Amino acid sequence: MRKTTSPYVLQKKSKIHNNGIFAKKDIPKGARIIEYVGEKVTKAESDKRADRDLDNHSENSDNGAVYIFELNKRYDIDGNVPYNTAKYINHSCDPNCEVDIIKGHIWIIALRDIKKGEELSYNYNYDFEDYQDHPCRCGTSRCIGYIVDEDHWPKVRRSLAQKKAAKKSKKKKTKK
């Protein structure tokens, strides 16, 4: 299958992580930028693949994130296919895009006006569980340090504060 294209995007090296997708021209807020395509798989099959992708991720942190998107109650889309250009869009804690399902198609949508040359990003919305396995390098001022759904940010902040406090009290004890 041919690689998906869009008049809005080009692919090049990113400061965040490996390859990224950049705005080829100004993109207006609300625009459907590019479709996120892949293999349509059943829930059972996608669970299997997600486990496999996560295993690969911990073995080689430069390779393999989870590319599975929920399409509806019965099917998911596995975007880890060579023709899916949208899979190169990086995560950001302060993204300029979001993902939306419109009539059975997964679209990358502009959250705001995007200037030519900006890198495109969306929040990968990972679960809270094992969030520490997915450090974030988005570099934005809002960065929470991990790739995790913004709904979980308060929990992440509490968890990080507890860890910090635990470290401090340990240090004090060893001084004595």
- Binding region for Zn ion (CB under 5 A) out of 58-66, 79-87, 137-145, 161-169: 137-145
Helices (H) and strands (E) in the chain, counts: 2, 10
CB of 93 to Zn ion, least distance (A): 3
Separation CA 53–CA 133 (nearest Å) = 13
Which residue in the set 143, 155, 165, 170 belongs to the binding site for Zn ion (CB under 5 A)? 143
For 24, what's the count of Cα atoms within 13 Å in the CB-facing half-sphere? 9
**Sheet with 75-78, side-by-side order of all strands:** 39-42, 75-78, 68-70
Shorter beta-carbon distance to Zn ion: residue 34 or 138: 138
Considering only residues 89, 136, 148, 156, which one is a binding residue for Zn ion as defined by CB under 5 A?
136
Q: x/- string (CB under 5 A) for Zn ion, residues 78-97?
A: ---------------x----
Least distance to Zn ion from the beta carbon of 140, Å? 6
Q: Judged by CB under 5 A, how many residues of this single chain contact Zn ion?
A: 4
The yes or no reply on residue 156 touching Zn ion (CB under 5 A) is: no
Piece in contact with Zn ion (CB under 5 A), picked from 20-28, 65-73, 136-144, 156-164: 136-144
Specify the residue, 110 or 138, whose C-beta has the smaller distance to Zn ion: 138
DSSP for 75-133, written as a single string: EEEE--STT-GGGGPEE-SS-SEEEEEETTEEEEEESS-B-TTPBPEE-----STTGGG
Shortest Cβ 7–Zn ion spacing (Å): 28
CB 144 within 8 A of CB 93: yes
CA distance linking residue 90 with residue 12, whole number of Å = 12
> Does 138 engage in binding with Zn ion (CB under 5 A)?
yes
Ramachandran category for residue 159: left, alpha or beta (phi over 0 → left; psi -120 to 50 → alpha): alpha
Shortest distance, position 18 Cβ to Zn ion, whole Å:
16
List residues binding Zn ion (CB under 5 A).
93, 136, 138, 143
